[in-house]
Structure 1
Amino acid sequence: MGGLPDALFVIDADHEHIAIKEANNLGIPVFAIVDTNSDPDGVDFVIPG
C-alpha cells in the first residue's frame, strides 16, 4: 500500500470505534453502516442499517 487510504468503510461502527477515531485524526473520510443503537459521531457518511 502506497500511503494512506482514500476512505474507510465500516460495517459495525460500535465495534470499529478505534479505527474510526484513527481515520478522523488522519483526515480519512469514514463511511459506516450505523444502526439505531450506534453512535454516528465521527462517521462522515452514514448508511442507515
Structure 2
Amino acid sequence: MDIKVLAIGLGKAVCPLVGLDEVGAVVFRIQFRRHRLLEFLLRIPPVIG
C-alpha cells in the first residue's frame, strides 16, 4: 500500500479515512469508530514527504 496522502474526517462516532497515492488515485476508503482509529493508524507505514 503506497499512501502519500491520508485524509481523516473526525466525527463524533465514525471517522472516514481516504488514502491517496502519488497521482491522487484512491488507494482505500474506509470508516472506523473513533476507538478503532488509532489501531489502524499504528498498522500503516509512516510517510514523510
Q: Counting strand residues as a fraction of each chain, which structure ranks higher?
A: 2
Normalised TM-score (structure 1): 0.25
- Which structure's CA Rg is the greater one? 2
